């Protein structure tokens, strides 16, 4: 029976209420403390061999008969108007089929109507001006050099605060402030809160623009089969791409099929459809041939999105005993030329600690730089750096241990909604991390020019998931099973954990479970793989579908075997019952039914009412700073996180390690550099844009609290994709401050900044 209900979900720090359709009755979670056969076990990735051997076909690998290539001509100016564009020379080159410009394609709104698919007005250096469709990639690259464009350069602005000054160049007609004003949140009265404060910290924190640089760059292949459009896309949301393509091309959903079997990472940059996808589709329609457009690494670092730079003015007040009285954050982020969802920089300030008087003002500002996109823990990474740095400064002023200050302001109540948390394992994460680090016994002996330091930081994030998400489980005549859902595996191990869930519920061995995802035409709907939503959204639907299939199977088996249904169960692929002399293999029972197929249906139930579902964590770091060279060396890194029940410790540990390494890059070395005179990105490649390598990765000790959240969903699991990156830079910054006795409030904390801070300290 289907029911229409209203439920609340949290996505990347924002709350949404929506109507959803729920099918059937919800399942109770597996009890806490129970030992399960497959769930909770270290199962290697089902597709690991395909990925490492090169047999996995990514979007970049798709090759179709007669396929053409598309390559972009990009603007050299950060702000300009195209006065004239001449493509005749390019079109005359042998092998060139056509050149797409704003003059010969429909005026399709893009970025929520902030521009068009191709536009006369250019708003960042590297923006798409034209697209050449040719026989091969090299021919397309040659032809784009023959396109002649006459530009009218316009004034530009690169920094968010400068973009708000009177007389600043206007990037959009409505002004440079996204949505016309700041996103303001307030509870209590901050003036009253600061009046009651006995100690205050008031500082400015800055973070640089960071680039995703996923291993597989953005790209699509488009093919028209009659009036049906087939898209192979490197995306985190196949159903989202289907919906966007259908809407913008004005065709019905049944005429669009989106496929993504394997993907080389996204980190949020592939949450929505790119211009390359739609232009490949238009090129394929106009030529009658499949078209592939794949960004190269340089293009990736110009136009594929970024974690925006931020400037955060943060003030914290507290009583002498460490109790927080007020927090005020005014944050500016560079939205770039276009934006879909502003990052929630104020999320940690609003939620992490008990504080009666809080105000956050978030200004997302258009600038003449590449467009902002989500980047693993968007907003919370930047906001946590400022908040947790300020908390350490406050602890120093109060002569308190930083961990004691955090425990003093610990809360079991969500500060925004006033509801209790369904579970909160942060206190245990603190205790385990401190014990593993030897926090109480930490010493700071000096070795020559090296100074030791210790730091820690906290994490809060959503990760509750929610409906709608659907799955089917098919039982084959040989007793094997196939799980189907329209979700995506970004490289996180989604297929593996879904197989574990199905195997556990069905009682069928893992090697008898296959998982089919990534195809809108054959899979039921699943949501975007972002916001740490995939497992807690799709996993419960898979378990429900497996339960439904098992219920049908046991009902049929009882009739075939002529035994009561009570006591009949499936274990390790065999039917067992006190009424049977010996177990019966599923395949032997099903052989009597010829090719009869059982199909179980599952849907994600609504989120619980009256409680708030969040993830938590704490990270501790020991490091050394060489005061002569400025080099930072991580000695020991501890990450303890609470994301409910652990389905696969192996895949979770890789998520934590990957998040920490990205966080170290953000905190210590990564930054996009833009020439202030020309607006051009100077390090749009992997040689000049420094990222952590294996040489930079320390030993990372990861632990999970592993306490099932029995109210969150029928798995008791929450998301873990983004939590590990959120507190890393803050923990490292606190350890560096502990080492040097001087605080650096701007990321990344490079060697140059360390040496400069030491000079200023000694002045």
Positions marked active-site: 722
Cα–Cα distances in angstroms (integers) from residue 375 to residues 336, 372, 666, 746, in the given order: 14, 9, 11, 19
Q: Record the tokens describing residue 253, joined without a space.
A: 């959903």
CA atoms within 13 A on the CB side of 8: 13
Q: Are 144 and 71 in contact (CB under 8 A)?
A: yes
The two tokens of residue 293 are 């457009």
- Give which of 14, 159, 304 is closest to 674, Cα–Cα: 159
Neighbours of 23 (CB within 10 A): 17
Distance CA 690, CA 668 (A): 10
DSSP string, 35-99: PPSSTTS-PPPTTHHHHHHT-S-BGGG---TT-EEEEEEE-SSSSEEEEEEE-HHHHHSTTEEEE
Torsion of CA 73, 77, 80, 84, to 10 degrees: -40
Secondary structure E strands in 114-187: 115-116, 121-122, 128-134, 148-153, 183-187
Closest CA to 376 of 463, 456, 314: 463
- What residues have CB less than 8 Å from 1, skipping those under 6 apart? 23, 24
- Runs of H (alpha helix) within 409-515: 426-437, 494-506
- Give the 3-state secondary structure of residue 729: helix
Q: Tell me the pairing of strands 481-484 and 68-74.
A: unpaired
Distance CA 484, CA 467 (A): 16
């Amino acid at each position: 029976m289907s029911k229409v209900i209203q439920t609340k979900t949290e996505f990347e720090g924002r709350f949404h209420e929506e109507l959803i359709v729920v099918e059937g009755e919800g399942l109770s979670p597996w009890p806490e403390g129970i030992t399960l056969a497959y769930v909770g076990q270290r199962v290697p990735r089902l597709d690991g061999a395909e990925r490492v051997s090169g047999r996995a076909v990514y979007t970049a690998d798709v090759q179709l008969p007669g396929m053409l290539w598309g390559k972009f001509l990009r603007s050299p100016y950060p702000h300009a108007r195209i006065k004239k564009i001449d493509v005749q020379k390019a079109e005359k080159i042998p092998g060139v089929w056509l050149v797409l410009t704003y003059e010969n394609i429909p005026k399709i709104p893009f970025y929520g109507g902030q521009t068009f698919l191709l536009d006369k007005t250019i708003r960042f250096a590297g923006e798409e001006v034209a697209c050449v469709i040719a026989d091969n990639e090299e021919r397309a690259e040659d032809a784009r050099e023959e396109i002649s464009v006459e530009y009218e350069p316009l004034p530009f602005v690169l920094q968010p605060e400068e973009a708000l000054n009177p007389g600043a160049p206007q990037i959009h007609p409505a002004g440079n402030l996204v949505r016309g004003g700041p996103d303001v949140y307030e509870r209590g009265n901050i003036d009253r809160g600061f009046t009651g404060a006995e100690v205050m910290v008031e500082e400015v924190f800055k973070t640089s623009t960071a680039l995703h640089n996923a291993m597989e760059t953005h790209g699509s292949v488009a093919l028209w089969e009659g009036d049906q459009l087939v898209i192979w896309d490197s995306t985190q949301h196949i159903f989202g791409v289907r919906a966007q393509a259908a809407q913008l091309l004005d065709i019905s959903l049944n005429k669009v099929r989106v496929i993504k079997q394997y993907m080389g990472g996204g980190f949020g940059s592939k949450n929505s459809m790119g211009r390359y996808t739609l232009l490949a589709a238009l090129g394929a329609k106009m030529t009658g041939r499949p078209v592939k457009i794949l960004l190269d690494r340089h293009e990736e670092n110009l136009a594929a999105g970024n974690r925006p730079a931020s400037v955060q003015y943060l003030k914290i007040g507290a009583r002498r005993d460490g109790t927080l009285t007020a927090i005020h954050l005014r944050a500016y982020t560079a939205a770039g030329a276009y934006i879909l969802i502003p990052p929630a920089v104020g999320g940690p300030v609003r939620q992490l600690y008990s504080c009666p008087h809080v105000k956050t003002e978030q200004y997302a500002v258009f600038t003449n730089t590449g467009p902002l996109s989500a980047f693993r823990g968007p907003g919370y990474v930047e906001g946590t750096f400022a908040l947790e740095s300020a908390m350490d400064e406050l602890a120093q002023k109060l002569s308190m241990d930083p961990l004691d200050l955090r425990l003093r302001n610990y809360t079991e109540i969500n500060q925004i909604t006033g509801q209790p948390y369904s579970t909160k394992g942060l206190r245990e994460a603190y205790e385990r991390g401190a014990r593993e680090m030897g926090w109480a016994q930490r010493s700071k002996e000096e070795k020559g020019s090296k100074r030791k330091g210790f730091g820690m930081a906290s994490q809060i994030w959503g990760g509750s998931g929610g409906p709608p998400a659907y799955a089917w489980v098919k039982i084959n005549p040989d007793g094997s099973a196939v799980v189907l859902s329209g979700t995506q595996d970004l490289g996180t191990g989604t297929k593996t954990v879904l197989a574990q869930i199905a195997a556990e519920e069905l009682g069928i061995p893992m090697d008898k479970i296959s998982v089919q995802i990534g195809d809108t035409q054959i899979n039921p709907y699943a949501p975007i793989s972002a916001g740490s939503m995939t497992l807690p959204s799709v996993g419960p639907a898979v378990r429900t579908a497996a339960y439904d299939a098992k219920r049908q199977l046991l009902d049929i088996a009882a009739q075939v075997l002529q035994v009561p249904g009570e006591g009949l169960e499936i274990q390790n692929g065999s039917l067992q019952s006190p009424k049977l002399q010996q177990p019966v293999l599923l395949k032997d029972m099903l052989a009597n039914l010829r090719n009869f197929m059982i199909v179980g249906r599952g849907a994600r139930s609504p989120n619980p009412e009256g409680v708030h579902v969040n993830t938590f964590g704490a990270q501790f770091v020991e490091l050394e700073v060489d005061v002569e060279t400025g080099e930072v060396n991580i000695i020991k890194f501890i990450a303890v996180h609470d994301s409910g029940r652990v389905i696969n410790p192996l895949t979770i540990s890789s998520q934590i390690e990957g998040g920490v390494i990205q966080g170290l890059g953000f905190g210590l070395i990564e930054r996009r550099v833009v020439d202030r005179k020309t607006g051009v990105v100077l390090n749009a490649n992997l040689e000049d844009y420094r990222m952590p390598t294996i040489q930079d990765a320390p030993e990372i000790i990861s632990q999970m609290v592993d306490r099932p959240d029995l109210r969150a969903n029928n798995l008791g699991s929450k998301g873990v994709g983004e939590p590990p990156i959120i507190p890393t830079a803050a923990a490292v910054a606190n350890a560096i401050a502990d080492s040097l006795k001087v605080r650096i409030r701007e990321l990344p904390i490079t060697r140059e900044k360390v040496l400069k801070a030491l000079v200023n300290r000694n002045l």
